Amino acid sequence: MFTKRTQKVKAHKGQISFPGGAQEVDELPVDAALRECTEEIGLMAGEVEILGELDDTISLTSNYIISPFVGLIPWPYQFRVNEEEIEELIEVSISTLLNSSHQYHETEVTDGEVITSYSYHYQGRVIWGATARILQQFLDIFTKV
């Protein structure tokens, strides 16, 4: 499940991302993730089974530290999109994401360090940046299970 952000949000306008947002003071990262899912797409925290946490990822354009979580939700689900923040919900199957015709990666050397950037192309949309790095981490784990 991905979201396309509106042009009204503060950062990452029009980009495809996972639901999520800023952590409040004295809030655990998992609680922030669940709260933001409720606020952005109407996914109630009590209906999510958290399976685990992926590695923190830094958004290189805004320097945010992202703490991603993986969870199961009932399906089908009646989402309620916050139209101020979310322009569109985008559902992409794992099998589609694993299909090499949708995957792209580039490797470059920067300051002696090998850096690989990932992107996923689906129905005219491009998933890139921190979202693509998080997705790649998830898919790497998923294919090993």
Q: What would the pLDDT profile of 44-98 be if each residue is shown by its tens digit?
A: 999 999 999 999 998 877 888 999 999 999 999 999 999 999 999 999 999 999 9
What are the residue ranges spanned by the domains of the chain? 2-144
Please state which CATH number belongs to domain 2-144: 3.90.79.10
Evaluate if residue 114 carries a pLDDT over 90: no
User: What is the per-residue pLDDT for 16?
Assistant: 95
Compute the mean pLDDT over every residue in the chain, rounded to the nearest whole number.
93
pTM above 0.75, yes or no: yes
User: What is the per-residue pLDDT for 145?
Assistant: 73
What are the E-state strand segments in the chain? 2-5, 16-17, 49-53, 57-58, 65-66, 69-72, 86-90, 103-110, 113-122, 125-128
